[in-house]
Amino acid sequence: MADLLVVGSVALDSVTTPFGQVTEVLGGSATYFSYAASFFTDVKVVAVVGEDFPKAHLAALKDRGVDLSGLQITHGQTFRWVGEYGFDLNEAKTLDTRLNVFANFRPSLSGAHKKIPFLFLANIDPELQLEVLRQVERPQLVALDTMNFWIEGKRQALLGVLAEVDVLLINDAEARQLAREPNVIKAARAILGMGPRTVVVKRGEYGSLMVSDGSFFFVPAYPMESVLDPTGAGDTFAGGFMGHLAREGRTDLDSVRRAIVFGSVMASFTVEDFSLNRLLHLKADEIERRYASFQDLVRFEI
């Protein structure tokens, strides 16, 4: 089992869906990622919060064994995001974003962090992602997430960091935008030419697909009857994906395929409640049972 490092955001979210509303709950890409990954391996977080960040949220992460030695607590207010969803839960509408202390975030890795073999660069400015890559010492695997804001506003910086990573995790709309190609599969293949050796496209309720050199793999989403809040599902997917790879300490194609299924499993739990509420009560045996259910879901006889 290998250690895993995530660099990203820890935030306070206010979210409205057709099924409820929450205000200033625990959120952020590094938060969802690290909590999900902690079910598989030891995970360390590099992020920043303000002095107003609730101690109860820190305790929730520490109770899961998440290493917060890289979490900076600085003067000012914590990053906040306000969003809402309609009945199409695949797309969030951002109502307000206040970067606060996150606006001046400059990730600085400790000596121990620089040697960690598995690295996930969560959805932050690609210039910061590149700064992190300049600090690490030959990791076994680097994966990256991004979003439409960076694809549109900092394309050249994003292309620069993509040339140096192993895996890109991205949703289908962002894949099309990045590749400037309407077909998702063609878009993923075009992105391979930008540097990553593997592209994983997250498609929400429609599942996820992986395209690598000479290989294609598709996984449906776990069929859910109760979806309350999809916030953080993509980051939780990434946590399950990277957590499993770090647990195995392998990056071969079969391991990547299993990792995608574990990512889908973790995301399926997240959407069952708001914030990290479902994950806070999740047990390891529930993960294994749902993974087995996934196998039954896609098994068929020839």
Both tokens assigned to 28: 């952020």
pLDDT tens digits, 79-134:
999 999 998 887 888 999 999 999 999 999 999 999 999 999 999 999 999 999 99
pLDDT at residue 162 above 80?
yes
pLDDT at residue 155 above 90?
yes
Whether the CB-CB separation of 34 and 6 falls below 8 Å is answered with yes
pLDDT at residue 206 above 90?
no
For the chain, give the percent of residues with pLDDT over 90. Answer: 87
Mean residue pLDDT of the chain comes to 94
Dihedral over Cα of 147, 152, 156, 157: its sign:
negative
What is d(CA 209, CA 199) in angstroms, rounded to the nearest whole number? 8
- The pLDDT of residue 204 is 83
pLDDT at residue 300 above 80?
no
Q: How far is CA 104 from the centre of its chain?
A: 22
Q: How far lies 45's CA from each of 2, 126, 246, in Å?
A: 15, 18, 15
Gyration radius (Cα) of the chain, Å: 18
What is d(CA 219, CA 85) in angstroms, rounded to the nearest whole number? 24
- According to CATH, the superfamily of the domain at 4-297 is Ribokinase (3.40.1190.20)
What is d(CA 162, CA 129) in angstroms, rounded to the nearest whole number? 10
Residue whose pair of structure tokens reads 């992986």 in the numeric block? 210
For Cα atoms 252, 65, 11, give the angle at the middle one, nearest 5 degrees. 90
